Chains A and B, each alone.
Chain A
């Protein structure tokens, strides 16, 4: 049973060496000196100058240094590593290393950025925006921000490396094992074929396992080569929380031109993304935020300019997806603001701009599978949105009286959005998704893919078992390494479920066909390569960017206590159109867990849940408010599945912000929304 829960920080062998990182204590400046105390025998250090190969970690065309040698660009930037046989001694040495800096106080800010901080620009233009704004009767503006989000929990992060007989063996929990291999090859200057990456299983991921494992693996590899011994480097939880991957801060300024008849004739949108000190995945993040911000509504004239801004914060990039949700937040919240100004119900305004047949994505891709109008109508009927929205509007018009009487304020918000699986970058640059399934002599089935998430693994077992009539115990998901697993590029849970499950199915059907006709073992391999340029032009943002889409709509109803200003969730209604559902219970459970987590972020902590304050006794009650979460699914067995782990993050924040806006009578356009922020807004 103990084997069930071995993680990287549990790997501890007798001759193993332990390494720890020393990071910069200033956000910007240069290193003037490094003073390392006399090291006992068997202990040693490495800096950026000691690396046998390149001192970089690269992602597509972007790169950042592995160990900083001169200029510090953010607080917590790795500078050197200390390694030795006793972990406590290593930590003591780390505490006695003195690094002196020449501090540069001109920190790169996100608020007042200079042109030289812009690390990437992406534009999307449809129609003629300039002239439409000249013709506009009214212009409605809004500024929308989503703040930095840090990991709510830290799973062990690090790597173990061993160098023996010209073979470097790395063990790490990575969503992108072949990136680990490439990075180790670059930094250690040894060919990829001499590097094996063993993949440890991982569980829930916020995409922090895309790049961080490569950083720790390269350090462990360099130290292992230098010492000739097995080396373990595991990040301290506080370091992961402070310096690891975060959701980037995003500011979106939207301007909508409304003509005399009240029609939205054009939208002009400017997006700024804080990428931290080293931008990675910039093109992808900008593309996806543009897709989200462009919304699904038919607005003929649209201009979007997205900029990536370098700042003095730790690198921020992919976090629970590539940012489509931050764009959707601005679009949905702004649409409701327009509805409010036009004194319309937000659902009616949305329906006005949703085509009756064949919805087109802003990039031109045509969707035939479902009607977003139906999705919107269904969610509004289910939540009684029309009645509640009008009733709360009316009630809150007497807000001053309510505040005097200390009556509860109420509000409701609605949002619709979509999630795509994987990257939008050029199809020819995307790795093929591959899967291998082997039926052995003993009727044992082995499923191999570079993905190592536990949820898809269970679904693959169920799928394979159903097709081949095998029990779950006779199916094994191969805990593999880069020599036996196919390179499927970076792994996202949405890909794992939608594309990979389909590949498992195809492999198993292939095995079923040959079973009892061919001798065992039977091996079936299948792969999926994204369609070509005729479907998606990544440079011009034209066509269908994703292999599959999933849709969702949400309504959030809140109650706001006018004294404590702590939002209490009264109800959440969601509809998810996620294609084929393999396990309804698991899908519902995943949806609910994600809704909780998103609300936790949107409300700035767990204030929405623990414990609620009562006006009656003006003190804490022992009542915990567990919001009633209604989850409905639209299923389609012909479409590939996925997206349940992304959709709540995309649709819930805007519905929550709208609900607070209605209850408070103020326009809330940023996430998170804490009682302090509500108070500040209402006080002004």
Chain B
């Protein structure tokens, strides 16, 4: 079947079997390299994408559901100014996740910051449930997210003035 959707702001069309996992299509046909297939169960968040604005695991979405959808991957997010807040939070708190989990973690943090302007420990840890990469510790992660939230609040305030 032909499937058409918007990927990182561009309309794309692929030929695929309807029940193919979206992550596989995005990785192989669309060459989205930030996606990781670590569990295929929607738990590890390595394949997180924004699907019509919601953060979802693309391994759980069959391709046919992506028809006319608006999809943003880490590649798309990294072109926006929004990512700067998160990276600033990482740098300030010296939080350096590994290459394997970094895209998924950044996508998750972006989702947190979209939902909470000043997230607390619980909100952060709840969002990170299931992400098992042990390259970094939780305390620094929480600090990095909170600092990222500070930068985002400040930037948005400045924009509103």
Measured CB to CB, the residues of A under 8 A from B are: 1-2, 4-7, 9-10, 12, 87-88, 152-156, 201, 203-204, 236-238, 241, 454, 585, 588-594, 596-597, 600, 606, 609-611, 622-624, 626, 629
7 residue pairs from A and B, CB less than 8 Å apart: A2-B75, A6-B33, A9-B37, A454-B99, A591-B137, A623-B122, A626-B138
Q: Which of B17, B27, B31 is A9 in contact with, Cβ under 8 Å?
A: B27
Query: Can you list, as one digit per residue, whether each of B28-41 has a CB less than 8 Å from chain A (1) or not (0)?
Result: 10010110111110
Please tell me if the beta carbons of B28 and A606 are within 8 angstroms of each other in the complex.
no
The interface residues of chain B, by DSSP majority, are classed as loop
Please tell me if the beta carbons of A5 and B135 are within 8 angstroms of each other in the complex.
no
Interface-side segment among B3-11, B48-56, B126-134, B145-153: B126-134
Please tell me if the beta carbons of B38 and A4 are within 8 angstroms of each other in the complex.
no
Measured CB to CB, the residues of B under 8 A from A are: 17, 27-28, 31, 33-34, 36-40, 44, 75, 78, 94, 98-100, 102-103, 121-122, 125-126, 129, 132-140, 142
Please tell me if the beta carbons of A5 and B34 are within 8 angstroms of each other in the complex.
yes
Please tell me if the beta carbons of A153 and B44 are within 8 angstroms of each other in the complex.
yes
- With A2-B33, A5-B33, A5-B99 as known contacts, state yes or no: A593 contacts B39, CB within 8 Å: no
Please tell me if the beta carbons of A596 and B40 are within 8 angstroms of each other in the complex.
no
Shortest beta-carbon distance, B108 to chain A, in Å? 15
Q: Which of B17, B100, B132 is A203 in contact with, Cβ under 8 Å?
A: B100
Task: List the B residue with the shortest CB-CB distance to A241.
Answer: B39
- With A5-B100, A7-B100 as known contacts, state yes or no: A204 contacts B137, CB within 8 Å: no
Q: How far is the CA of A6 from the CA of B129 in the complex (A)?
A: 25
Q: Which of A10, A87, A590, A593 is B33 in contact with, Cβ under 8 Å?
A: A10
Q: A10-B27, A454-B99, A591-B137 are in contact. List 16 more A-B contacts (CB 8 A).
A: A2-B34, A5-B100, A12-B28, A153-B133, A203-B133, A203-B135, A204-B98, A238-B40, A589-B140, A596-B137, A597-B132, A610-B125, A622-B126, A623-B122, A624-B125, A626-B125
Which one of B37, B75, B102, B138 has the highest number of Cβ atoms from chain A below 10 Å of its Cβ?
Answer: B138
Report A-chain residues with C-beta under 8 Å of the C-beta of B135.
203-204, 593
Shortest beta-carbon distance, A4 to chain B, in Å? 5
Report B-chain residues with C-beta under 8 Å of the C-beta of A606.
129
Please tell me if the beta carbons of A155 and B137 are within 8 angstroms of each other in the complex.
no
Shortest beta-carbon distance, B143 to chain A, in Å? 11
Q: How far is the CA of A6 from the CA of B138 in the complex (A)?
A: 25
Q: Which of A1, A152, A622 is B132 in contact with, Cβ under 8 Å?
A: A152
Shortest beta-carbon distance, A601 to chain B, in Å? 11
Please tell me if the beta carbons of B27 and A237 are within 8 angstroms of each other in the complex.
no
Q: Which of A153, A585, A594 is B38 in contact with, Cβ under 8 Å?
A: A153
Shortest beta-carbon distance, B154 to chain A, in Å? 24
Task: List the A residue with the shortest CB-CB distance to B17.
Answer: A88
Report A-chain residues with C-beta under 8 Å of the C-beta of B136.
589, 593
Q: How far is the CA of A592 from the CA of B142 in the complex (A)?
A: 13
Q: Which of A4, A154, A593 is B99 in contact with, Cβ under 8 Å?
A: A4
Report B-chain residues with C-beta under 8 Å of the C-beta of A597.
132, 134
Please tell me if the beta carbons of A237 and B98 are within 8 angstroms of each other in the complex.
no
Report A-chain residues with C-beta under 8 Å of the C-beta of B28.
12, 87
Q: Which of A88, A153, A624 is B122 in contact with, Cβ under 8 Å?
A: A624
Please tell me if the beta carbons of A610 and B94 are within 8 angstroms of each other in the complex.
no
Report A-chain residues with C-beta under 8 Å of the C-beta of B75.
2
Q: How far is the CA of A624 from the CA of B126 in the complex (A)?
A: 8
The 8 closest A-B pairs by CB, nearest first: A592-B137, A203-B98, A593-B137, A152-B132, A5-B99, A153-B132, A589-B137, A593-B134
- With A606-B129, A623-B122, A624-B122 as known contacts, state yes or no: A5 contacts B102, CB within 8 Å: yes
Q: How far is the CA of A624 from the CA of B141 in the complex (A)?
A: 15
Report B-chain residues with C-beta under 8 Å of the C-beta of A600.
132
Shortest beta-carbon distance, A631 to chain B, in Å? 10
Task: List the B residue with the shortest CB-CB distance to A598.
Answer: B134
Q: How far is the CA of A203 from the CA of B133 in the complex (A)?
A: 10
- With A5-B102, A203-B99 as known contacts, state yes or no: A154 contacts B122, CB within 8 Å: no
Report A-chain residues with C-beta under 8 Å of the C-beta of B17.
88
Q: How far is the CA of A588 from the CA of B140 in the complex (A)?
A: 10
- With A153-B132, A155-B100 as known contacts, state yes or no: A592 contacts B139, CB within 8 Å: yes
Report B-chain residues with C-beta under 8 Å of the C-beta of A596.
134, 137-138
Shortest beta-carbon distance, B27 to chain A, in Å? 7
Task: List the A residue with the shortest CB-CB distance to B37.
Answer: A237
Q: How far is the CA of A238 from the CA of B44 in the complex (A)?
A: 13
Report A-chain residues with C-beta under 8 Å of the C-beta of B122.
622-624
